[in-house]
Amino acid sequence: MTSDTHNRREIRSFVKREGRLTPGQQRALDNHWPEFGIEDDTDLSNLDELFGRPAPKVIEIGFGNGSSLIEMAINQPECDFIGIEVHRPGVGQLLKAINDNQLRNVRVACTDAVALIKHRITDSSLSRVQIFFPDPWHKKRHNKRRIIQSEFVNVLADKIQSGGHLHLATDWEDYAVQMLADVSENTRFINTSSDNSYIERPKYRPLTKFEQRGHLLGHGVWDLLFKKK
């Protein structure tokens, strides 16, 4: 008999909203997904082979429309980036930007990030994982859906190499407090903040339009940067 634990579905940290694709986004999906897209059966056991070179590997979970990811890929050509997003218009927008900027150091997945990282990424293979402004699931009864939870932090500790980093950012203070607690309790991570709390936004993380609007409204943003031992 199969156990209830085995049958229990994992809680998802996202709601898949298809949205309407613009003609440009649809063309990008049609024309550029075959080259830059990561299919469910793509072998991710050797990321150097995927990109055709040895280089630090960075995964961004939930890249939105991809504008900040593209800026980082342009500014950090020495790194290879994998963006994971479930919103297809955002995927199409990123693919268009990859082609427009003639980038070779970005690949895209449109799938459940937790499952991809947990089951398809080799341990100690990532230089950095970045999760910027994830869905805060702000209603208390929905907090369990937040992507940053102790269990997933432990998975990330497996996948990030020694000396690598986990970079988180949110504009919800209670989520920032929870993130700080959940990552700090994992003994494999060291907080890079001088007071074991939050850091100023690193220069490599672009300031988004969403974030700029928040600043004008007096909203706070909390960045957390942890180093893997």
**Residues that constitute the known binding site for substrate:** 139, 171, 208-211
- Between CA 49 and CA 125 the distance in angstroms is 12
Q: Provide φ and ψ at 49, rounded to 5°.
A: -70, -35
Q: Which entry of 43, 80, 135, 182 is annotated as an active-site residue?
A: 135
146: amino acid identity, one letter: R
C-beta atoms surrounding 103 within 10 Å: 15
CB atoms within 10 A of CB 171: 17
Known binding residues for S-adenosyl-L-methionine are 60, 85, 112, 135
Asked if 135 is an active-site residue, the reply is yes
Give the annotated binding-site residues: 60, 85, 112, 135, 139, 171, 208-211
CA distance 46 to 80: 13
Cα separation, 18 vs 89, whole angstroms? 7
Q: With both helix axes pointing from N to C terminus, report the angle between 150-159 and 113-120 in degrees, rounded to the nearest 10.
A: 50
107 close to 36: Cβ distance less than 8 angstroms: yes
* Cα-based angle 93, 68, 184 (whole degrees, multiple of 5): 125
Six-digit token pair at 122? 């080799």
Q: Which residues are catalytic?
A: 135
